[in-house]
A and B are shown apart, each in its own frame.
Chain A
Amino acid sequence: MSSSKLNFEFRQRLNKILGGEHHNYCYQCGACVAACPAARFSDHFNPRDVLLKTLIGDEEDLIRPDSIIWKCTNCYTCYERCPQDVRPVEVIIALKNLCAQEGVLPEDINKFSETLVKTGRSVVITSTVNRRRQELGLPELKDVNMAELQTIIE
């Protein structure tokens, strides 16, 4: 724990992100931990711990490119199990959004999501791709209507 004080200001910022407000419902029962694959396969990840740090408002530990939250596999088992409708994975994604706002996304996430903002697709189309598709008798992949996308994202 990096601070002995509760950081309510941090929690209020999290509340403003979609799904972030559900962190308030957590009563630390641990139902999310038992079936969590990241908890099983990593020595450090534990969704209940992440929620505890969130409730305390441990911004320093959570909001960083090497934060433990990036070990979440996004499998939604915790969402399935949680009796309190915390939707832990969605809280974790909301925490990731705070990382983005603070400019501390891991480099891979930054690069990947940038591709989407620039091309409307998450995987780049190369000439090799369309050549292979042609060989398979599949239609050519065309460019996405970027004018529309850029008008609706903020």
Chain B
Amino acid sequence: MAKKISVAPFWGCMIPVKYPQMELSVRKTMPAIGVELIDLDQFTCCPDPIYFKARDKMNWLTIAARNLAVAEERGLDIVTMCSGCTSTLQEARFMLAEDPELKKQINQRLKRINKEYKGTVKVKHIVVMLRDDIGIERIKASIKRPLTGVKVGIHYGCHLLKPSQIMHIDDADYPSLLENLTQALGATPLTHTEKLLCCGKGCMDDEMPLEMTYEIFDSMESVGADCMGLICPTCFNSFDMGQILIARKKNREFNLPVIYFCQLLGLAQGLAPEEVGLHLHRIKIDRIMEMIGAKEGSVEVAA
């Protein structure tokens, strides 16, 4: 039996509150690949890299450093589920390593609550942990219902990869991380023209995100995608609900289910759609379930 790894899951704010199905899919799929999740209840918001950071970068960095220190105290590395949390925590680590004077200032603030950020904790988005610490072979070994024939339009989002100077994850222009993981599930990852386009959710504009979503889905549809595979709750917000808005405003129905990577992993591990919360999505996945030969319920696995 391969060895187990223990990590501190950083759920963030959007996933546990708005999209708990993503949390559910992580909790359900990790045991089969030897990941133990040790919840730390002292974590706060990462804090978010768009709105709160816009208000005060020093407070943003201080709260991020506190979260990092919380995991450090327990000797656990952090696994993030959201690209925004990944961005904040990784950038905080980078800034504090780049500027020792800044680190001193932040630690003076943390000292008021008897905490210190040392710089030993690592932060990984869950898909990076899957690639680097679990590995493709072990993921494959957990698969009971391969997603054969399912064409997944990959969407990276922005904050997993960029800036590569900070993120150190993959080539920001020609990434392969999600393609390789998707392939491990037996599915067919599809590259498409707008694979790396931003979802637009981070700007203060109503029209732009919708236009971007439209282009992304148009590009995915043109290569014959059956669904979209993604890793970020903010992008999900743009795309699941976004397709409903596009149907209403632009009279075009894409009807492509938007699926978080661990939900895809769960389906491939033989879990039922409800067990990974797919019934909570606006765009339903019935067609995908027909394709993989299971209309409802978990697959019975022979001993």
Contact = CB atoms under 8 A, between A and B. Distances in A.
A79 B162 contact: yes
Of the four ranges (under 10, 10 to 19, 20 to 34, 35 or more), the interface on chain B belongs to: 35 or more
Nearest to A153: B59
Given A75-B158, A154-B58, A121 B163 contact: no
A37 B20 contact: no
Nearest to A36: B198
A107 to B, nearest CB: 10
A34 interface: no
Contacts of A127: none
B53 interface: yes
Interface stretch (B38-46, B182-190, B223-231, B263-271): B38-46
B27 interface: yes
A154 B201 CA distance: 28
A120 interface: yes
Contacts of B5: none
A62 B230 CA distance: 34
B56 A112 contact: no
Interface in A1-50: 17-19, 37-38, 41-42
A56 interface: no
B181 interface: no
B112 interface: yes
Interface string B261-285: 0000000000000000100000000
B158 A152 contact: no
Contact of A79 (B66, B110, B163): B163
Contacts of A79: 162-163, 165
Interface residues of A, number: 55
30 contacts: A41-B211, A41-B212, A42-B205, A71-B203, A72-B202, A73-B158, A74-B50, A74-B202, A74-B203, A75-B158, A75-B198, A76-B159, A93-B53, A96-B54, A100-B54, A109-B55, A112-B48, A120-B44, A121-B44, A122-B45, A122-B52, A123-B18, A133-B20, A136-B24, A138-B23, A148-B66, A151-B113, A152-B62, A152-B112, A154-B59
Q: When A and B form their complex, which 8 residue pairs have the shortest distance between CB atoms, in order from nearest?
A: A74-B202, A76-B162, A96-B54, A70-B204, A75-B198, A75-B158, A79-B163, A120-B44
Given A77-B198, A122-B51, A137-B24, 6 more contacts: A37-B200, A79-B162, A80-B164, A109-B204, A136-B21, A152-B110
A18 B47 CA distance: 16
A48 B20 CA distance: 40
B196 to A, nearest CB: 9
Nearest to A38: B203
Contacts of B56: 97, 100, 153
Contacts of B14: 122-123
Contacts of B59: 153-154
A105 B17 CA distance: 26
B109 interface: yes
B127 to A, nearest CB: 18
Contacts of A18: 57-58, 61, 95, 102
A52 interface: no
B202 A75 contact: yes
Interface string A121-154: 1111100010011001111011011001101111
B204 A77 contact: no
Given A76-B163, A116-B48, A145 B211 contact: no
